[in-house]
Amino acid sequence: MRSVRPSTRLRQRLSQGRILIAPGAHDALTARIIERTGFEAVYFTGAGFAYTHLGAPDIGLTTLTETVWRVARIVESTRLPVIVDADTGYGNAFNVIRTVRELARVGAAAIQIEDQAFPKRCGHLTGKVLIPPEEMVGKIKAAVDAREDPDLLLIARTDALAVEGLEAAFARAHRYREAGADILFVEAPRSREELQAIARALDAPLMANMVEGGVTPLCTAAELEAMGYRIVIFPGAAVRMAAAAIMELMAHLHREGTTAGMQQKMLSLAQLNELVGLGEFQEMEERYLGRPAQNP
């Protein structure tokens, strides 16, 4: 399957009509787990990247260079198409050209940019500021022109609902679609009724964002599919679950002075090595270096 570009596989999958669930991955290990458990795409989460790479909130602190490096590692770790959260495109339309080219070069199957002013912030935080719609249209046109792979998908996110209201979000989304966006993403609807209204108003493939504890009510993939959505992302679930597990582990270790009581909650060493493909590396070691495989 690697002979077919991830972008092409993603386009083909979206043409099937069934909603695509893309869990969020902040690193390569998480992407491997997503593939292992049977999902069909990975969503590179900008927020999760900020949390784990910088130990900082999602307020626009990560850079294009850092993002490209991490996305490359994720693409290398999985056969699944990777949908990339590229924040605002890391600048104006000129910067968007570079962003699209750099992310496409490392294998992104889809690239998402948003219409917030820099520095952006998480779509479920207050205090968001938007750029004029004309500026976002220019960014989308720049992204379209920078795209050398015709199957690379461009996702336009608007945060206008929280700032300017639902009708303004619709107006922006229509303009972004006309500018060349393949998929539309109206961020942070506040009710199921707003989710349904978005699906009725926009004649384009739509993406929904499920943030546990955010302003949008949690819906199942089946419910969103019935509304008309084509992609649903769960961007922060994995990193939040991982953080909770690490906090539990560290509290236990601090209290008990040992990790013995937590061992049953961990992957075994053998399970972890199998997950990260140790056997494949051992085979290459024997083939290329002439060394017999060694079990850990």
Do 79 and 134 share a domain, yes or no?
A: yes
Closest CA to 77 of 23, 31, 113, 112: 31
Report the CATH number that the domain containing residue 234 is assigned in CATH: 3.20.20.60
In tens, the pLDDT along 141-152 reads 999 999 999 999
Type of residue found at 56: A
Do 79 and 189 share a domain, yes or no?
A: yes
In tens, the pLDDT along 48-60 reads 999 999 999 998 8
In-domain check, residue 261? no
| Residue 177 DSSP SS3 | helix
Please give the pLDDT value at position 293.
64
Instruction: Residue 161: give the domain boundaries.
Output: 6-242
Instruction: Read off the pLDDT of each residue in 16-35 and give the average, rounded to a whole number.
Output: 97
Please give the model's pTM, rounded to 2 decimal places.
Answer: 0.94
Radius of gyration of the chain (CA): 20
Q: Which residue has the higher pLDDT, 292 or 192?
A: 192
Does residue 230 surpass a pLDDT of 80?
yes
Do 174 and 104 share a domain, yes or no?
A: yes
Do 122 and 217 share a domain, yes or no?
A: yes
Q: What percent of the chain has pLDDT over 90?
A: 87
In-domain check, residue 259? no
Structure tokens at 14: 């979206």
Q: Give the count of beta carbons closer than 10 Å to the beta carbon of residue 144.
A: 16
Strands (DSSP E) found in the chain? 20-25, 42-44, 82-85, 110-114, 153-158, 183-186, 207-209, 231-234
Please give the pLDDT value at position 263.
96
Instruction: Read off the pLDDT of each residue in 125-133 and give the average, rounded to a whole number.
Output: 91
In-domain check, residue 256? no
Mean pLDDT of the chain: 95
Do 131 and 270 share a domain, yes or no?
A: no
In tens, the pLDDT along 3-25 reads 799 999 999 999 998 999 999 99
Does residue 1 surpass a pLDDT of 50?
no
Structure tokens at 233: 């992302």
| Residue 278 DSSP SS3 | helix
In-domain check, residue 251? no
In-domain check, residue 254? no
DSSP type of residue 173: H
Number of domains in the chain: 2
Does residue 36 surpass a pLDDT of 80?
yes
Tell me if 166 sits within 8 A of 195, measured CB to CB.
no
Structure tokens at 157: 């996110």
